[in-house]
C-alpha cells in the first residue's frame, strides 16, 4: 500500500468518524485503556518464534445512544513483534540464556462496531474493527553489527511502515456511577499485510559454520497480537432543550 493510498484511506475513516460522532447524538462514550500485549509473528524462515511481551494504550470514542450496539473509532500505540530465545551451549562455563526481541512500535487507527448484552450495570460485549497502522520505530538497529557479518536477521531498511488488518474480541463493561465506568477487554489483532519483506539473498556467510556460504530465501513477517486491556469509560450526555 502506497503512502498516498494509506493517508487517503485514513482520511475517509476520519470523515466517516466525523459523520458518526458529529451528528445530533445524545450520548457519547470516551474510553482510555491499556495493558499487556503478547506479540507473535509468522516468519517463513526461523520458525522457532517466541512471544514478545510488551504493552499498548488506546483512546476510543463511541456512540452510546443504544444500550446494545455502538460504533467506535480508536487511536492507539501498540508494540508488535516476536522474540528468539535459546541457551548458548557453546560458551562452556559461561553458558547463558540469549534473548533477541524484535519490536515494532506502531500507531494504530481502528473503526468498528460493538454489540452488548447482559444486565444494566454489568454488560458483556464483542467487537470487530478494521485497523491501519504506521510503524514509528523498531529496535532492529541493535542487531546491525551482527548483520554486517551474517545478514541473517531483519534489517531496518526493509520494514514496511504501513500495515493493515482487523481487530476482534470481547469483554465486560461495568458502571461506577451514571457517567463513569470500567472495562476489561480481550482482543486478537491479525495483520493482512507484511510488517517486513526481504528478497532472496545468495552466497551469504553461514552464521553457524565458518567458511560456508548459504542462500537465504525471501523472508516475509506478519504480525499477530493478543492483548488484555483495563480501562475507564466516561459517558457524555447532551440534552437538547427547545
Q: Could you give all domains of the chain from N- to C-terminal order, each with its CATH number?
A: 3-237 (2.40.160.20)
What is the rounded average pLDDT of the residues 136-159? 80
Strands 96-118 and 69-88: antiparallel
For position 69, what pLDDT does the model report? 92
pTM as predicted: 0.81
What is the rounded average pLDDT of the residues 229-233? 97
CA distance 222 to 149: 25
Q: Check residues 134 and 179 and name the one with the higher pLDDT.
A: 134
Q: Report whether 107 contacts 132 (CB < 8 A).
A: no
Q: In a 10 Å sphere around its CB, with 0-12 CB exposed, 13-18 middle and 19+ buried, how is residue 138 labelled?
A: buried
For position 72, what pLDDT does the model report? 95
Could you give the percent of the chain with pLDDT greater than 90? 52
CB-based contacts of 61, cutoff 8 Å, min separation 6: 17, 21, 28, 29, 30, 31, 72, 73, 74
Say yes or no to pLDDT of 218 above 70: yes
DSSP string, 2-53: -HHHHHHHHHHHHHHHHHHHHSS-SEEEEEEEEEEEEEEEEESS----B-EE
Q: Average model confidence (pLDDT) for the chain? A: 84
CB atoms within 10 A of CB 3: 10
Q: Report whether 36 contacts 227 (CB < 8 A).
A: yes
Q: Find, among 217, 125, 211, 135, the residue nearest to 172 by Cα.
A: 125
Amino acid at each position: 500500500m502506497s503512502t498516498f493510498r494509506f493517508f487517503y484511506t485514513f482520511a475517509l475513516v476520519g470523515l466517516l468518524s466525523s459523520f458518526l460522532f458529529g451528528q445530533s447524538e445524545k450520548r457519547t462514550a470516551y474510553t482510555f485503556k491499556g495493558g499487556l500485549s503478547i506479540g507473535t509473528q509468522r516468519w517463513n524462515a526461523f520458525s522457532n518464534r517466541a512471544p514478545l511481551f510488551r504493552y499498548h494504550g488506546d483512546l476510543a470514542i463511541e456512540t452510546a445512544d443504544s444500550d446494545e450496539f455502538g460504533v467506535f473509532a480508536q487511536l492507539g500505540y501498540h508494540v508488535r513483534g516476536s522474540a528468539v530465545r535459546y541457551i548458548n551451549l557453546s560458551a562452556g562455563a559461561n553458558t547463558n540464556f540469549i534473548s533477541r526481541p524484535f519490536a515494532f512500535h506502531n500507531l494504530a487507527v481502528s473503526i468498528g462496531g460493538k454489540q452488548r448484552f447482559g444486565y444494566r450495570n454489568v454488560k458483556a460485549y464483542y467487537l470487530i474493527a478494521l485497523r491501519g497502522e504506521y510503524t514509528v520505530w523498531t529496535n532492529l538497529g541493535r542487531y546491525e553489527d551482527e548483520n554486517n557479518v551474517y545478514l541473517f536477521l531483519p534489517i531496518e531498511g526493509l520494514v514496511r511502515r504501513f500495515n493493515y488488518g482487523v481487530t476482534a474480541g470481547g469483554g465486560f463493561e461495568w458502571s461506577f456511577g451514571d457517567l463513569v465506568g470500567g472495562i476489561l477487554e480481550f482482543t486478537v489483532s491479525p495483520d493482512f499485510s507484511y510488517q517486513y519483506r526481504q528478497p532472496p539473498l545468495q552466497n551469504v556467510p553461514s552464521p553457524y559454520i565458518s567458511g560456508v556460504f548459504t542462500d537465504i530465501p525471501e523472508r516475509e513477517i506478519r504480525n499477530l497480537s493478543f492483548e488484555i486491556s483495563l480501562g475507564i469509560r466516561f459517558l457524555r450526555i447532551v440534552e437538547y432543550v427547545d
